[in-house]
Structure 1
Amino acid sequence: MKTFVASLALPLLAAAAPTSQTSSSSTTAFGVTAIRSGSPIQYATLNASGQKFYLGGSTSSYCPSEIVKDCPPGTQTAIAPGGNALDVEVPGGQQIYVDPTGAVSFTQAHSASMPAGSVQGGFTFETQGDATYWLFKGDGLLACPTSDNLYQVFAPVDNLKVPSGNKDDCLGFSARGIPYSDAAPAWQYS
């Protein structure tokens, strides 16, 4: 575990992360709900918007209705089986990665482009008892407040640069997976 996580994030994550995990071999997509008891993010839903993830706000999606017949509603965010991509219909999909600031991000549709220094992979769905959690390299995630009263999702990494400029403003949380069994909820997220 990195020094930053041990010194700053570990106390936050200890209360939020599951204590024992086993790999989930599920072929199920998941929506994500934040678990952080007694906090403003308790039961907040994970939303994809602006190529980042937030607790609160709304999902932002797009579908070229002039080309695609029967566009999905695009109002929910779901993570594809395995945890490293979004559950979308767009050819080529949309990959999830951690950008150089530590922000959990996703690629634009039709592109695999990521900023230099980004970390691709490392996300998994892990099962503990009856619950499934979305983790980054075995750790829970961080929710950091933004100026518009949302919480942006970050991975617990050394080079963390949060919206407020103060890492202590962030809350560690468990990202509980809620099975999503319908067709992909969006053509693409934007």
Structure 2
Amino acid sequence: MRAFATSFVFPAVALAAAITQRSVPEGPWSAGIWRMPTQDGEPMFTGDGINANGGKFFVNRNASTYCPDTVEELDCSAYPGTRTVFSGGNNTVFLDVAVPGGQQVYVDVDGSLSYTVPHSAYMPEGSNATGWSRSMSQAFGAPIILSNNNKFWAICPVTEGLPKERTYQVFVGQSKEGCLNTEVRTYTYTSSGPNAWEYV
């Protein structure tokens, strides 16, 4: 993978000008891709959900969750696992889970948005788990935008098919040919508790 620079300079400057550090609603929250096409044939995304699956994050792929139904007095029906929900956003981000110890979100050395496995805080050497922020834009309906150390976001296709229907993997600060630059917006999630026991 290689970092893109010039193609993201203008969007980054425009985005920075539109964002202020106003307080935003506290978590939990979900996240989605938001982008307008820049060329004919490119897909448009208006909040398509980002889901945790296999230690990474994807668009157009279901969340992968688990609840140990053999644990005494644990009611797995309370954790449907239908959505990917986050917490934090002030320097660190976590998946909103019930599993003891939690699961932290980080950027792997290859730029892939990733998360720790249950019961472990292990991250590959060179990964980054800090520098997250959620900021409210003054424009475009005042969306709450997620950023990491002012780096650009990219989604890279991992399946074939029509552009809108492909599965895309989410990256931070790195891209490659065929990937699309994007914005990540967050949305308040209202629930009486975590949606998932753990993500796998």
TM-score by length of 1: 0.83
- Deviation of 1:89 (Å): 0.8
8 Å contact kept, 1:122–1:136? yes
User: What letter corresponds to residue 118 of structure 1 in structure 2?
Assistant: S
Superposition deviation, residue 25 in structure 1 = 5.2
Identity among equivalent positions (%) equals 32
Q: State whether residues 67 and 198 of structure 2, in contact with CA within 8 Å, keep that contact through their aligned partners in structure 1.
A: yes
Q: Does residue 1:102 correspond to 2:111, yes or no?
A: yes
Contact 1:104 1:154 in 2 (8 A): yes
> Residue 52 in 1 paired to residue 52 in 2?
no
**Is the 1:125–1:133 contact (alpha carbons within 8 Å) kept by the matching residues of 2?**
yes
What residue ranges of structure 1 are gaps of 5+ in the alignment? none
- The verdict on how the C-alpha distance between 1:41 and 1:56 changes in structure 2, with shifts beyond 3 A counting, is farther
Deviation at 1:81, TM superposition (A): 2.6
The 3 A distance-change label for structure 1 pair 41 and 77 is farther
The residue type equivalent to 2:9 in the other structure is L
Structure 2 counterpart of 1:9: 8
Does residue 123 of the first structure (1) align with residue 123 of the second (2)? no
| Match in the other structure for 2:26 | 27
Cα distance in structure 2, aligned partners of 1:140 and 1:36 = 13
Q: Which amino acid aligns with 2:62?
A: S
Q: Give the match for residue 42 of structure 1.
A: 45
How many aligned positions are there?
A: 180
C-alpha displacement of 1:140: 4.2
Cα displacement string for residues 50-79 of structure 1 (whole angstroms, at most 9, x for unaligned residues): 010001110100111221224410010011
Q: Report Cα offsets for 1:108-139 as digits up to 9, x if no partner.
A: 01100011111111222111133101111134
Give the residue type in structure 2 aligned to 1:144. Answer: C
State the secondary structure of the residue aligned to 1:119: coil
TM-score, length basis structure 2: 0.80
Output one character per residue of 1:128-187: Cα deviation in whole Å (capped at 9) or x when no partner.
Answer: 13310111113441111113531100001xxx4x6xxxx132111111111102121111
Alpha carbons 1:26, 1:81 under 8 Å: kept: no
Note the aligned Cα RMSD (angstroms): 2.4
1:152 partner letter: Q
8 Å contact from structure 2 (residues 24, 144) kept in 1 = no
The aligned counterpart of 2:163 is none
Which of 149, 161, 168 lines up with 1:137 in the alignment? 149
Shift of 1:18: 7.2
Mind listing any 5+ residue stretches in structure 2 that lack a counterpart?
A: 161-165
Bigger Cα displacement from structure 2, 99-108 vs 24-33? 24-33
Q: Distance in 2 between matches of 1:48 and 1:128?
A: 26
1:181 is aligned to 2:190: yes
Quick one: distance in 2 between partners of 1:104 and 1:76?
17
Which has the larger Rg?
Answer: 2
